[in-house]
Amino acid sequence: MSINLRKKKAESAALEAGVDALLVTHLPDVRWLCGFTGSSAALVLCAGEAKGSKANKRAVLFTDGRYTAQAKAEAVGSEVIIATKSPLLAACEWIATAGVKRCGFDQTQTTVADLAAMQKAVPSKLRKSLFVALEPLVAKLREIKDADEIAKLRAAAALGCKLFDHILSYMQPGMTEVAVAAELEHRARLAGAEAMSFQTIVASGERSSLPHGHATLAKLPRRGFVTLDFGVLLDGYCSDMTRTVHMGRATSEERNAYDAVLEAQEAGVTAVRSGVTTGDVDEATRSVLRRAGLAEWFTHSTGHGVGLEIHESPRLATKQTQKLKTGMIVTIEPGIYMPGRFGLRIEDTVLVTRSGCEILTPSPKAWIEL
Ligand code: ZN
Ligand code: ZN
């Protein structure tokens, strides 16, 4: 049922944006609006109620012959048309003959080549007026998760926590980063994950100073940090968490840096609440690191939305004025990276509530020495 509600919301947003139909081509948006998970699709959502119009309140999913059975099985509340050309072109031709007057498309998901092909697919007299470039409208709606999505994101996050538990007992000095990543990913698949939600980060020793240090053949040191940032894709939804552990005894500088990042991360989590701006949450983490004299090493933003995609709107970054809302699921992930020395990050995924937030990745964050 939730899909029908999502469609209604998208239709209202389309009408508000001054268009009577939407052409949706970004696959996660298509999936969110009609349930179809195939890799080739264009969805037309007609919001207008022009009498006698062929477009009247219809939702039509265009895909290709490889997906005939799958589209029929998965698509909810949408008719399915199997295109003999590209689904995008078939959708445009359909739009042109269905009586749609102004069809919005997401300008951030449409290439210059796509737009040229879209224009070419419709009669020349419609070219000026038919297609209207819009800001991402479905992505905006997807910021707030419904009950079904929250349940799936909760399950994905819980699996992430289970994997972290396991990997702690597996990691040994001298083992390669790739071996750690492989064990994590193997266990994830056995637990039902479709894939990892992004390339697993295992950054050890000096490599921990790389914010996105993908696992390499480097060996875990006897003494030094190991940052693990990973996520699973479970039932279409992503998990995302980071923990940094220390192999062997730490220096007091490493220990102090960890304490500061942990304090910053917890300050960020504490700041999360419906109505607070994402910029304020960013400032909550950054100000702790500023006081600790470490802010110059915090070189990325505080967090991002998570859902069908690993990085979604909203962005939690400096000076952002967007407000958090109940039902958003975002990460809080401050870190510091001192080139050639060491780095660390701690990341939770949290569900925004009216009075605060619920941490979906409650794995321990206190200092861990292996
Ligand atoms: Zn992450
Ligand atoms: Zn993240």
d(CA 12, CA 20): 10
Alpha-carbon distance 264 to 271, whole Å? 11
pLDDT digits (tens, 9 = 90+) for 291-349: 999 999 999 999 999 999 999 999 999 999 999 999 999 999 999 999 999 999 999 99
* Boundary (domain end) residue, out of 116, 142, 168: 142
Q: Could you tell me if 170 and 90 lie in one domain?
A: no
In terms of domains, do 95 and 123 share one?
A: yes
Residue 177 Cα, ligand 2 centroid: separation in angstroms? 19
365 within a domain of the structure (yes/no):
no
Task: Find the 271 Cα to ligand 1 centroid distance in Å.
Answer: 19
Whether 22 and 151 map to the same domain: the answer is: no
C-alpha of residue 57 to centroid of ligand 2, in Å: 38
Whether residue 151 lies inside any domain: the answer is yes
Listed residues 101, 116, 142: the one ending a domain: 142
On whether both 61 and 99 belong to a single domain, the answer is: yes
Please report, for the domain that includes residue 35, its CATH number: 3.40.350.10
Name the closest ligand to CA 331: 2
Residues with CB under 5 A from ligand 2 (ion): 240, 331
| Interacting residues of 4 by C-beta distance below 8 A, sequence separation 6+ | 76, 77
Query: What phi and psi, each to the nearest 5 degrees, are found at residue 295?
Result: -60, -30
Residue 106 sits in the same domain as residue 223: no
- Band of the pLDDT at 139, cuts 50, 70, 90? very high
The 10s digit of each residue's pLDDT in 219-230 is: 999 999 999 999
Indicate whether 370 belongs to any domain. no
Residue 110 within a domain: yes
Domain-embedded: residue 65: yes
- Mean pLDDT within 24-36: 98
The ligand minimizing its distance to the Cα of 330 is: 2
* Domain coverage including residue 241: 147-359
Q: How far is the CA of 320 from the centre of ligand 2 (A)?
A: 17
How confident is the model at residue 50, as a pLDDT?
56
- pLDDT band for 57, please (50, 70, 90 cuts): confident
Residue 369 lies in a domain: no
Q: What is the pLDDT of residues 191-218, one digit of tens each?
A: 999 999 999 999 999 999 999 999 999 9
- Residue 1 pLDDT: 57
Q: What's the gap in Å between 303 CA and the centre of ligand 1?
A: 9
In this predicted structure, the answer to whether residue 290 has a pLDDT above a threshold of 80 is yes
Long-range contacts of 181-189 (CB under 8 A, 24+ apart): 181/215, 181/230, 184/228, 184/230, 187/163, 188/159, 188/163, 188/232
Q: What is the mean pLDDT of residues 353-362?
A: 98
Residues 105 and 198 in one domain: no
- Residue 274 Cα to ligand 2 midpoint, Å, equals 20
Chosen domain end from 102, 127, 142 = 142
Number of domains in the chain: 2
> Amino acid letter at 204?
S
Judgement on whether residues 126 and 161 belong to the same structural domain of the protein: no
Whether residues 223 and 313 share a domain: the answer is yes
Instruction: For the chain, count helices (H), then strands (E).
Output: 10, 19
What's the mean pLDDT when you consider all of the chain? Answer: 96
Interatomic CA distance for residues 184 and 7, integer angstroms: 37
Does a structural domain hold residue 302? Answer: yes
Query: Mind listing the pLDDT tens digit for each residue in 154-196?
Result: 999 999 999 999 999 999 999 999 999 999 999 999 999 999 9
Q: Ligand 2 centroid to 312 CA: how many Å?
A: 10
Distance 215 CA to ligand 2 centre (A): 16
Res. 52: pLDDT tops 60: no
Q: How many A from CA of 145 to the centre of ligand 1? A: 19
- Do 214 and 120 share a structural domain? no
